[in-house]
Structure 1
């Protein structure tokens, strides 16, 4: 069956119920899209958990973790800023930690990651920007 993103109503519910959003590939460089999107989400009241094995310390005032498995608390959405070929491994980790949603950012698509995550019970969103969806569906909190 061909992949299809959830409808806007379902995406809105996902965002309204999101607690922790782990951002895989979040850069500490302020001019990067991952940083700007995460900062905007944070400004709208979401809790961001940075995941980047190349950065230690904090990004946007939050402790950085090397992998999803290192996060010591529940994760609702795994938001991915990695190239498509790296997403199947992220999907496996997202299933392992019991996340609810695997969200691949704009321009990122992986049928394999979709198969892994959906078989693991996760809702999958691909090739969509979480910041744009939040702005359209929710706006300022």
Structure 2
């Protein structure tokens, strides 16, 4: 895969991921209610997911009922999916951390694409989705996702 290759994920793959994950760590979650990550977190919680915010700048605060952690390594619970709201060039270390904590999925938000990190994640057995939003995909796929 190269950065110019279009990204295509089957509905079956997306449904499979979204129907099996339960706990999501959101890297780059914002306590600012006008930021997209805030709305995505709120939506996912409303759909029954537990979303744990990760942001070193707001660690220790409570966001939408969940404690904000400074890093993935600090979360005491098992994480199924890591949802990344960070710049594409910063995703490599996030993937390394996701592998280290035993996450099953790396999901990079709209506009976030790092092919090198994706290859590394896939080689470690993770499902990798790039340049997609789980909120949008859940809405598009319907209630059965």
Counterpart mapping for 1:69-80 below 5 A: 69-80=73-84
* Alignment correspondent of 1:31: 34
Unaligned runs of at least 5 residues, structure 2: none
- Offset of residue 140 of structure 1: 8.3
* Alignment correspondent of 1:48: 51
Whether the 8 Å CA contact 1:44–1:140 is kept in 2: the answer is: no
What TM-score do the two structures reach when normalised by structure 1? 0.94
Alignment of 1:17 onto 2:13: no
**Corresponding residue to 1:98 among 102, 115, 136:** 102
- Offset of residue 73 of structure 1: 1.2
Report the aligned-residue RMSD: 1.6
Secondary structure of the residue that 1:114 maps to in structure 2?
helix
**Corresponding residue to 2:11 among 4, 8, 13:** 8
Q: Kindly tell me the number of residue pairs found equivalent between the two proteins.
A: 141
Secondary structure of the residue that 1:53 maps to in structure 2?
coil
Q: Distance in 2 between matches of 1:113 and 1:83?
A: 12
Counterpart mapping for 1:80-91 below 5 A: 80-91=84-95
Whether the 8 Å CA contact 1:58–1:64 is kept in 2: the answer is: yes
Q: Distance in 2 between matches of 1:111 and 1:41?
A: 26
Whether the 8 Å CA contact 1:100–1:121 is kept in 2: the answer is: yes
* Alignment correspondent of 1:122: 126
- More deviation in 97-106 or 56-65? 56-65
What TM-score do the two structures reach when normalised by structure 2? 0.91
